[in-house]
Chains A and B, each alone.
Chain A
Amino acid sequence: SQQGEEDPQALSIQEGENATMNCSYKTSINNLQWYRQNSGRGLVHLILIRSNEREKHSGRLRVTLDTSKKSSSLLITASRAADTASYFCATGSGGSYIPTFGRGTSLIVHP
């Protein structure tokens, strides 16, 4: 079952621009994670934000969480061609330690 839904499905930008992806979910969560997947490869964990946190930063990444709106956003600042990948949100909820993945946003950064 999928809980997180990313928006937009696809995003195309120029190098140097910022990229913003959103994730909406339906039920209460304990945490929310963002992963990146380069074409034909496995997923790589980027950042985890807990339900009692509102914002986290990691390098050029900024993640926000709004539990009242059941949504999260991932901002990549000053994007690079190497950021071209699919980005997935994954929610952790209830007593389960298994995250539920969304369908992903495909980001293309043109050099």
Chain B
Amino acid sequence: DGGITQSPKYLFRKEGQNVTLSCEQNLNHDAMYWYRQDPGQGLRLIYYSQIVNDFQKGDIAEGYSVSREKKESFPLTVTSAQKNPTAFYLCASSMVGSTDTQYFGPGTRLTVL
């Protein structure tokens, strides 16, 4: 899992609540990403950020929000507007360049009760 940490490992939420997933990296990477993983669907990109104070929507951004106030941190908030939030969430980081290699955190499993 390299130099990326995610917390918590497991998270339970009641319907209608917002929750924030933490992602921190000490790899000095400029780019950070959030993915959602559902069984049989691979990884889907939620948001990504190339630089501090800037981020872009991915393929499934609706119901999610992010911030990038520090290079090391890229928290993801799952809002009550997300209709089906139960999933495994993965954070990744990379150098911005031609190699595209991503380094992943251990993931957070979110369950909505």
How many residues on A have C-beta within 8 angstroms of the other chain's C-beta atoms?
Answer: 22
| Minimum CB–CB distance for B30 against chain A, Å | 10
Q: Does A40 contact B (CB under 8 A)?
A: yes
Contacts of B96 in A (CB 8 A): 97
Q: Does A2 contact B (CB under 8 A)?
A: yes
Q: Does A44 contact B (CB under 8 A)?
A: yes
The bracket for how many chain B residues form the interface is 20 to 34
Q: Given A1-B59, A40-B107, A43-B104, verify A88-B98 contact (CB < 8 Å).
A: no
Report which of A33, A44, A48, A102 forms a contact with B42, defined as CB distance below 8 A: A102
Complex-state Cα separation, A24 to B103, whole angstroms: 23
Contacts of A25 in B (CB 8 A): none
Additional A-B contacts beyond A43-B104, A88-B43, A103-B42 (10; CB < 8 A): A1-B59, A31-B99, A33-B101, A40-B107, A42-B1, A42-B6, A43-B90, A43-B92, A45-B102, A103-B41
Q: Report which A residues bind B (CB closer than 8 A).
A: 1-2, 30-31, 33, 40-45, 48, 88, 90, 92, 97-99, 101-104
Task: Give the 9 A-B CB pairs with smallest separation, nearest first.
Answer: A42-B104, A103-B42, A101-B43, A92-B100, A43-B104, A42-B106, A101-B42, A99-B100, A97-B100
Q: Report which B residues bind A (CB closer than 8 A).
A: 1, 4, 6, 31, 33, 35, 40-43, 45, 48, 59, 88, 90, 92, 94, 96-107, 109
